[in-house]
Amino acid sequence: MPDHIPRRVPYAPPPPPGGAPAPPAAVDNPRRVPYAPPPPPGGAAVRSGFVALVGRPNVGKSTLLNAILGTKVSIVSDKPQTTRTRVVGVLNGPDSQVIVVDTPGLHKPRGPLGRHLNETASDAAGGVDVVVLVVDGAGGIGSGDRYVAATVPPGLVVVNKIDLVPRQAVLEALAGAAGLGVPDPWPVSARTGEGIPELVAALRGRMPPGPRYYPEGTVTDVPEAFWVAELVREQLLAVTRDELPHSIACRVTEWEWPRVRCEILVERESQKGIVIGRGGAVLKEVGTAVRAQLPPGAFVELFVKVDRDWARDRRRLELLGY
Ligand code: GDP
Ligand code: MG
């Protein structure tokens, strides 16, 4: 299990490895002065806090997180159960810091992976400043959305995917969303960016005064190796389309940057062929698409392994970082 987050502790740099005392500051090096953050201009207080994005699978929570940040930190696909961990994105402003937490889709669970994903999502939504319920404005609002609203009561509702339907249908979706218990839902398109600046302003406005929980340059808490494994899984879901069940897992087993070795776990021998593709075509396409999203020079080696029960075994889920 990932530990219970958001951790509302101000950032403190980790102690040096092995507990060795920090070397004394060299007086002849002018850059070796202890870091002190500049005071905010005009003495204005910083507003900061946590926002959790919750909703049914596939409503566009991860796409919305990326749109809010203007950077991709969470993978996206049209398959359910794509987001498996809590993903943190940090939106820094001159006098604000909004920490946005993406979560797995909440659904009536089937099997240990589904139960685990639900737990991860409701844990991540606990104790945040604003729970944002994301619904699909093009797909209709229904019992799945009401299930989520009852599980984690939202403070704000976002109607996403308004690019897909005519204005009249957007109005109907907004009226439907108002039935989820929060007035004035926000219409947005995470894909085109419509409504995102307004939503971001609203989120900033709801943050209480507080410290910057992350150093100002931080965009996400996803470790690099985990991110590469996530990109591999995203591209596999995209390239294999409907042939492959969503139950694949990826993990980086060697990190010697720029060389990265990543294992793809499938549940059955028959799935191995789908992942490899004719003459290795699928792996090649996946590798190329992943490399295109990494710094130049990256070399990602992909291996496929059969692990019959990874999605059914709690301990294995933990080993994979879920
Ligand atoms: P999640 O499961 O809620 O995190 O959903 P994802 O962010 O993975 O998105 C699910 C699917 O919806 C993907 O195919 C996205 O490209 C698509 N999607 C997300 N937001 C929008 C949107 O605003 N407009 C359109 N047209 N598609 C979207
Ligand atoms: Mg997602």
* Residue 6 near residue 99, CB atoms below 8 Å: yes
Instruction: Identify which ligand lies nearest to the alpha carbon of 74.
Output: 2
Q: Which amino acid is at 315?
A: R
Q: Is the CB of 76 under 6 A from ligand 1?
A: yes
Give 3-state DSSP helix, strand, coil % of the chain, rounded to 5.
35, 20, 45
Using H for helix, E for strand and C for coil, what is the string for 132-197? Answer: EEEEECCCCCCHHHHHHHHHCCCCEEEEECHHHCCHHHHHHHHHHHHCCCCCCCEECCCCCCCCHH
Q: Is the CB of 62 under 6 A from ligand 1?
A: yes
Q: Is the CB of 304 under 6 A from ligand 1?
A: no
Give residues whose Cβ lies within 5 Å of ion ligand 2: 61-62, 83
User: Within 13 Å and on the Cβ side, how many CA atoms surround 80?
Assistant: 13
Instruction: Report CA(206)–ligand 2 centroid distance (Å).
Output: 24
The predicted pLDDT at position 40 comes to: 54
Task: Kindly state the helix (H) or strand (E) to which residue 291 belongs, with its residue range.
Answer: helix 281-291
Q: Is the CB of 85 under 6 A from ligand 1?
A: no
Tallying the residues shown for the chain, one arrives at: 322
Q: Is the CB of 154 under 6 A from ligand 1?
A: no
User: Whose C-alpha lies nearest to ligand 1, atom 22?
Assistant: 161
CA-to-CA separations, 193 to 163, 196, 201, in angstroms, rounded: 9, 5, 14
List, in order of start, the domains of the chain with CATH numbers. Answer: 45-205 (3.40.50.300), 224-319 (3.30.300.20)
Instruction: Report CA(32)–ligand 2 centroid distance (Å).
Output: 42
* Residue 274 near residue 240, CB atoms below 8 Å: yes
The predicted pLDDT at position 5 comes to: 33
Q: Is the CB of 103 under 6 A from ligand 1?
A: no
β-bridge partners, 186? 158
Averaged pLDDT in 10-residue chunks for the chain of 322 residues: 35 49 46 56 78 95 96 92 91 95 88 87 90 96 94 96 97 95 95 98 96 93 93 94 78 94 92 92 96 93 89 75 76
* Residue 235 near residue 290, CB atoms below 8 Å: yes
* Residue 90 near residue 73, CB atoms below 8 Å: no
Could you give the CA distance from residue 157 to residue 144 in angstroms, rounded to a whole number? 14
Substitution site in 53, 54, 56, 58 for ligand 1 pocket (most atoms within 8 Å of beta carbon): 58
Instruction: Write the Ramachandran bin of 143: left for phi over 0, alpha for psi from -120 to 50, otherwise beta.
Output: alpha
For the entire predicted model, the pTM comes to 0.84
β-bridge partners, 96? 47, 93
* Residue 105 near residue 57, CB atoms below 8 Å: yes
User: Whose C-alpha lies nearest to ligand 1, atom 9?
Assistant: 60
